[in-house]
Structure formats: structure tokens, C-alpha cells
Amino acid sequence: MKIYGSRVSYYTGKLETYLRYRKIPYELIGMPYGKTQRITDNVGVIQMPVVECDDGRWMSDTTPILFELEKDYADHPIMPADPVVAFIARLIEDYADEWLWRAAMHYRWSYPYARELISGILVDEVTQHVRAPRFLKRRRITKRQINHFVKRDGVNDQTRSHVEQGYFSALDNMSAMLAGRPFLLGDAPSLADFGLMAPMLRHFGQDPEPEEIMRGRAPAVYEWVARMWNVQMDTKPKFIGAIPDDTTPMLKEICETHLEQLTANAAAFGADKKRFEMTAQGCRYTDLPVSRYRVWCLEQLRANFAALSPQEQETVKALLPHDQAAILWAAEIPAVSDYDKGGQLPFGKAINVYTGGIP
């Protein structure tokens, strides 16, 4: 299995953690930006990671990739058996993928030590085909990333402190959950753990400024990152059978931030807008990019909620007693993504999640 990505990439790290857990051999190769046509012909867009299987098929989008690979491990799943716990695992993973991204990009590209380190790594990994001086390539990467993944994603003087508070909250909430067990939902990694490894491994746990914060504020999370990177599937996992009180702060955070974003994004997409506004926890974001992919993410969460029994749905509602959570069970939403209608992912053609450059 060939993984086209980067050793500093958000979602590549998530996939690598899973492959290591499953003891699946793979080769990590820098994204071949000099041969983009081959990638787009097979998966539609250039986004990290892309997988070239040994049988000639191609896969993209880490969450569908994980579920595809899970078909071979029915006896040792990453999804808890209890439907409510499984739904919460999906919700946490979606929050990690689609909300913490903003804070991860901010810490990487707004702070000088991180951007100096990462721009140098990316130049060496993915720009070998570009004929230009190394310092100039670093400057171009840095400018592109700041413009697309920081400024155009709503990070400015008015929102910066809230973006950073989102990282602090994630650390605090994870620490509370890890106080009583080695992984977030049991004695083995679940989808929630793999989802949170995306920001926590290659960004917050590796980039200089957020890594220093993690070591000092949340050593249990710092330890969990190493545990996740090292753990391998040996025995049948034991997940919790019900959601404990220590998850309450994280679920509250998800409702007030990620679900607020999904709701506002869907409304804007339904109105055929390119940018949207929202208020999360009292912080006003005024110029965020509308994402068709995030409408699809919302549709996936809603479909999984709808698949629960009436009693299970009531249990989830009791765990998410916040206005923003109503989007998960509302009769309808103001947008339809029309994405992956045939359920072909991870083998179908992907769409751009974010506009811009290299994660």
C-alpha cells in the first residue's frame, strides 16, 4: 500500500496511526505534485493522503478509508458495540476532522517557529519538481498557507483568542476522559481516538508552540499521543457500554462550536453563498468559506442518528442538551450536498474540502 502524503500532514498522521494499529504494511511517499494528473485521474482532487492499493485501486478521504479497511477486522472493531457510544465516537471524530482543523492551521502558520520548521519540511517533501531557490519556495508555501488556511478561514484579531481556546478546551476535555481509562472510550482505540490523532499527532503534538502547551497543560494527552502511535491490535477491544459523565464537557464543546459551524455552513450552502458568518460561544466569525463537503459530513451524522432506535435517539438527545445539536435530528436541513450519492467512497472521486495548498 502506497500512501501519498506528508509526515507533517493532519490526515496522513490519522491514517498512519490506524495502519500501525492494524499492522498493515505501507510506504509513505511525498505527494507527487509534479505528477498531479495521475492523482486527479484516480481520485479527483489533490488532498493528503491518497492511497494506491497493491491491487491497483485508489482511495481517498481518511474516514471512508478507515471504514473500508475495517471490513477485514470484524472481530476487533474500532466502533463500539453500543449504538449510542458508536454515534458519539462518530461525532467526536467529525469534530476532530472539521473543527480543530482551524486551530491546528493557526498554530502552524501564525507562529514563527512552526512555520519555519514546517515550510522547510514541505519544501523538501513535495516541491522537488519546482525549479526555484529553496528560500523562495519556502516563502511561497508560507504565504499560500497563511492566506488559505488562516486568514481565509476566519482567523483574525477578533477570533484568534477563541480559536486558541478551542485547543485548550480539547486538551482539558480529553484529559478528563483519559483520567479513568487509557483511550477515550475504552481500553482500546475507537474511531474517536483515531479522529483526534489527526490534529494531536502531527500538529498540536509536533509543532513547537502547541506541543509546548500540550506538555505543560495536558501531559495525559501527550502520553496518549505516544500510546496511540505505539498501540497495536492484540486482543479484542473492550469499549464502554454507556457514555460517562466525564464526556459531558467535550460534548458541550462540540455542540457549541462544531455543530454551530455545520448548521451555519449548511444554511449558506443552501442559499448558494460562497462565504458565511456564525457566532460560536459568543465569538463572531464573519468570513468563513462555505464547504459542500461539510454539508455531506452533516448528512452522514444525521443518517447515523436516524439509524438509532427511538430509545437510543432519546439517549443521544439527553447527552446533547444544546440548541445547536437539534440539527442532527431536525426534520430536514436547508441544503443537500449531492455528494457520493452512490456510496462509492473511498473509491469514488473526491471533492475539495478546503481551497488552498498543502495541509
8 Å CB contact between 185 and 178: no
Q: What is the pLDDT of residues 238-253, one digit of tens each?
A: 999 999 999 999 999 9
Q: Is residue 119 part of a domain?
A: no
CATH of the domain at 93: 1.20.1050.130
Q: Is residue 223 part of a domain?
A: yes
Q: Which three cell numbers stand for residue 135?
A: 528560500
Q: Is residue 210 part of a domain?
A: yes
Q: Is residue 116 part of a domain?
A: no
Q: How many domains does the chain have?
A: 1
Q: What is the pLDDT of residues 284-310, one digit of tens each?
A: 999 999 999 999 999 999 999 999 999
CA distance 100 to 210: 13
Q: What is the pLDDT of residues 51-74, one digit of tens each?
A: 999 999 999 999 999 999 999 998
43: number of Cβ within 10 Å = 22
Q: What are phi and psi of 5, to 5 degrees?
A: -170, -140
What residues form DSSP beta bridges with 52? Answer: 2, 58
- Runs of H (alpha helix) within 150-285: 160-178, 191-199, 208-217, 219-230, 248-256, 258-270
Give the helix/strand (H/E) hosting 195: helix 191-199
8 Å CB contact between 87 and 47: no
CA distance 42 to 183: 36
What domain range includes position 189? 2-102+159-328
Residue 355 pLDDT exceeds 60 = no
CA distance 45 to 293: 13
Q: What is the pLDDT of residues 2-26, one digit of tens each?
A: 999 999 999 999 999 999 999 999 9
Q: What is the pLDDT of residues 303-322, one digit of tens each?
A: 999 999 999 999 999 999 99
Q: Which three cell numbers stand for residue 308?
A: 438509532
Q: Is residue 357 part of a domain?
A: no
Q: Is residue 130 part of a domain?
A: no
Which residue has cell 466502533? Answer: 79
Average pLDDT, the chain: 93
Q: Is residue 270 part of a domain?
A: yes
Q: Is residue 273 part of a domain?
A: yes
pLDDT band of 352, cuts 50, 70, 90 = confident
Q: What are phi and psi of 81, to 5 degrees?
A: -70, -35
Nearest to 286 by CA among 297, 277, 294: 277
